[in-house]
Amino acid sequence: MPRKTLDSTKIHNAIQDTVADNQLEIMNEVIQAVESQDIVVIGMSGNPHVGKARKALTAANLPFTYLQYGGYISQWRKRNAVKMWSGWPTFPMVFVKGTLIGGGEETQALINSGELQTTLNQPKAAAS
């Protein structure tokens, strides 16, 4: 199911570099982590849902990489870029073996069902 995004042919040539480079540093950091780590949690300080997801993974003895980008007021532009990239509207964002599995509730459900551990035991899917 492809998400709708503005086709690059609908972006004027004069601003294509600006669009392509918007928050590029943060995006490269997130993409590198998601591609190289088994579990990545992306969040922000002060968000209780992020804390619950991290606690659930820790309680399940599942090591993860945590990327924190500001709080409710600071670094919102970085977080917005990550939201636009992933399509997931809230934090946390949890990636397992390069796949977005959702947020805190979805992570807990996959831990409870055993699916998260099963996914970790499988080879990482090839990048498309």
Residue 77 maps to a domain: yes
Residue 100 maps to a domain: yes
Residue 111 maps to a domain: yes
Instruction: Using the predicted structure, report yes or no on whether residue 84 has a pLDDT greater than 60.
Output: yes
Q: Determine the pLDDT at residue 100.
A: 97
Q: Determine the pLDDT at residue 17.
A: 94
Least confident range of 5-9, 11-15, 70-74: 5-9
Residue 8 maps to a domain: no
pTM over 0.85: yes
pLDDT digits (tens, 9 = 90+) for 35-57: 999 999 999 999 999 999 999 99
Q: How confident is the model at residue 114 (pLDDT cuts 50, 70, 90)?
A: very high
Domain that holds residue 110: 14-121
**Domains of the chain: total:** 1
Q: Of all residues in the chain, what percent carry a pLDDT higher than 90? A: 89
The secondary structure of the chain as a DSSP string is -PPP---GGGS-GGGHHHHHHTTHHHHHHHHHHHHH-SEEEEE-TT-HHHHHHHHHHHHTT---EEEE---SSTTHHHHHHHHHHH---SS-EEEETTEEEESHHHHHHHHHHTHHHHHHHSPPPPP-
Residue 94 maps to a domain: yes
Residue 43 maps to a domain: yes
* Average pLDDT of span 25-36: 97
* Average pLDDT of span 70-82: 95
What is the domain-level CATH number for residue 39? 3.40.30.10
Residue 128 maps to a domain: no
Residue 36 maps to a domain: yes
